[in-house]
Amino acid sequence: MDPTDTATLRARLVDVLECYHPDRTACPHDGFQAAVHPETGDRYDDRHHLVASARFLANTSLGVQIDGPDWCAAAAEQAAAFLRSAHHDAASGGYDWLVDDETRDDRRVCYGHAFVLLGYARAVEAGFDFEAELRAVANLLVEQFFESEYDLCASEFDADFETGSAYRGQNANMHACEAFLAAHRATRDRDHLDRAIAIARALTVERATDDHSIDDLADVPLIWEHYDADWTPDFEYNRSDPRDQFRPWGYQPGHHLEWAKLLGQIDRRLEHVAPDHEAREWLCDRGIALFDAAVEMGWDETLGGLAYTVAPDGEPVVEDTYGWAIAEGIGAAATLFERRDDVRFRETYQGLWEFARTHLDAPQGDFYQAVTPTNEAVIDSDGPAVEPGYHPIGACLAGLAAFGEDPRGE
């Protein structure tokens, strides 16, 4: 595989889309199911997670934009209809976190709402008439979650938005930044871009911490995952649960890579719409610093692979390599190469694709969820699944933007 060849990247993107073809994933009540076994293709869970439902809309909309499989247009319409009918609560305006045939989890979680905004933004870019839905969820994120004194979003509320959790998390804000950036691409509404920049600055610059003892990164502020209500780092949160699905303890090299990609993408957006914006003075430099920090603290020079989490003293906590983290590394390397034309990012991009091809490519077309430190596949079929190929699709998209032409027209 030549990951700089646009035809190859497009074909790989379509392979991941086909892994979640409606014939395999459609459910009787009109949703799609991300819980597809990576080796057999069997479906193993019928619960619907908000993140997965929104990612189906994002993925299939992108399939339309790249003139991908014919089924993507109808699937995108169906995914949007399912968000409205199964997840959306008209009374509060919020979206339920988890839905199945008998029960539902009606918490209002920022992380999930960020993906709803991203899904509608991708759909609008693809030509679907979902501008009203995009505006509604963007307004909801601002009115209910965004805390202007911090330029960051709260994490979670009850069904009526009456009672909120004291927990604050960087992960939800990273995806809110991603979603507002996508909303700007779709609408050209400058408020969305300004909010994406504000979130990025607040987390990657203002609240990054040097409260670690990783020798080779002594001068590099890193991004902690967990905070209390006034955005003070909480270094004990989930320390006893380092494999929590959404909130593991420790620094996450994969999230540093994801931020590196996002900062480069914001810089690219500003180059098109506001080339003299002051944020361009720091976006790519900070992205490169985060990229290098992720490699330094997480990469296994002997076996390859990227530790999932790392303690403040630099010791790995969870050593498994997650497919999403490698995909974000690919996306970051591609984006930074496109921004700075530095050959080391191109070489890293090619090396990460080689690792993915060798160790992460699963028989059905998606990446394995993870591999062990000795590169044996980890297959978690407990559900509920949230990853219908969103991250490897993003890796392909970043490669297309860097080595060919962004199929979305940027």
Per residue in 141-151, pLDDT (tens digit) is 999 999 999 99
| pLDDT (0 to 100) of residue 355 | 97
- Which residue carries 């596949």 as its tokens? 377
Taking only the tens place, the pLDDT of each residue in 199-258 is 999 999 999 999 899 988 989 999 999 999 999 999 999 999 999 988 999 999 999 999
Supply the DSSP string of 382-402, one letter for each residue.
Answer: SS----SSHHHHHHHHHHHHH
| Residue 377 belongs to a domain | yes
- The residues near 214 (Cβ < 8 Å, ≥ 6 apart) are 222, 296, 297, 310, 312, 313, 314
The answer to whether residue 379 scores a pLDDT higher than 90 is: no
With H, G, I as helix, E, B as strand and everything else as coil, classify residue 112.
Answer: helix
Measure CA of the first residue to CA of the last residue in the chain; give whole Å: 25
Q: Identify residue 273 by its one-letter amino acid code.
A: V
**Structural domains in the chain (count):** 1
Question: Is 391 an active-site residue?
Answer: yes
Q: Read off the pLDDT of residues 300-330 as tens digits, 9 standing for 90 and up.
A: 999 899 999 999 999 999 999 999 999 999 9
**Average pLDDT in the chain:** 95
Among the listed residues 48, 255, 256, 359, the single catalytic one is: 255
Indicate whether 191 belongs to any domain.
Answer: yes
Two structure tokens written together for 48: 């619907």
Percent of the chain with pLDDT over 90: 90
Beta bridge partners of 99: 48, 104
Angle 179-182-186 from CA coordinates, rounded to 5°: 135
Ranking 68-82, 222-236, 323-337, 375-389 by mean pLDDT, the lowest is 375-389
Residue 208 lies in a domain: yes
Beta bridge partner(s), residue 226 = 169
Confidence at 1, pLDDT banded by 50, 70, 90: confident
**pLDDT tens-digit profile of 6-22?**
999 999 999 999 999 99
Mean local confidence (pLDDT), 87-103: 93
Residue type, 86: A
pLDDT at 383: 67
Residues 159 and 140 sit within 8 Å (Cβ to Cβ):
no
Q: Is residue 318 in some structural domain? A: yes
Domain presence at residue 1: no
Residue 113: active-site member: no
Which pLDDT belongs to residue 381? 67
**Which domain covers residue 141, as residue numbers?**
6-403
- Per-residue pLDDT of 114-144, as tens digits, reads 999 999 999 999 999 999 999 999 999 999 9
Residue 212 covered by a domain: yes
User: Dihedral of CA 10/16/22/28: which sign?
Assistant: negative
Give me the pLDDT at residue 409, please.
62
pTM for the complete prediction?
0.97
Q: Indicate if the pLDDT at residue 168 is higher than 70.
A: yes
- CA separation, residue 18 to residues 1, 204, 355, 379, 397 (Å): 19, 35, 22, 20, 16
Residue 382 lies in a domain: yes
| Residue whose structure tokens are 């209809």 | 81
How does pLDDT run across 338-362, given as a tens digit for each residue?
Answer: 999 999 999 999 999 999 999 999 9
Q: What CATH number did the domain enclosing 162 receive?
A: 1.50.10.10
Residue 409 lies in a domain: no
Residue-by-residue DSSP string for 91-105: TT--B-SEE-SS-EE
Q: What is the pLDDT of residue 410?
A: 64
- C-alpha 99 chain-centroid distance: 21
